[in-house]
Amino acid sequence: MASDLLTPEELGERWRVSPETLRYWRYNAKSPIYIKLNGSILYRIEDILQFEKEHLRRHTADNAIINGVEGKVKD
């Protein structure tokens, strides 16, 4: 189970952003869903993969590509 969870440091390394950036995104409701237990933040890998999938783009003018179909996603 522990391998299915990432800390902010581990997710930051995966996405090449700082834990502070992830904190900012959580505060502004822009991050993937997360678990908070005893003051610790953890991200489930399935939620991270879904978040990444929902943010795929072909180019900067594209809307999100979800399941291979273009669709609008509100930011």
pLDDT of residue 63: 62
Tens-digit pLDDT profile for residues 5-61: 999 999 999 999 999 999 999 999 999 999 999 999 999 999 999 999 998 888 777
Diameter over CA atoms, the chain: 41
Q: What is the DSSP letter of 11?
A: H
Query: Which CATH number among 1.10.3470, 1.10.10, 1.10.1660, 3.40.50 corresponds to the domain 2-71?
Result: 1.10.1660
Q: CB 6: neighbour CB atoms within 10 A?
A: 21
Give the C-alpha separation, 62 to 39, whole Å: 38
- Structure tokens that stand for 67 in this block: 């399941």
Give the C-alpha separation, 68 to 38, whole Å: 39
Q: Is 59 strand, coil or helix?
A: coil
pLDDT of residue 39: 94
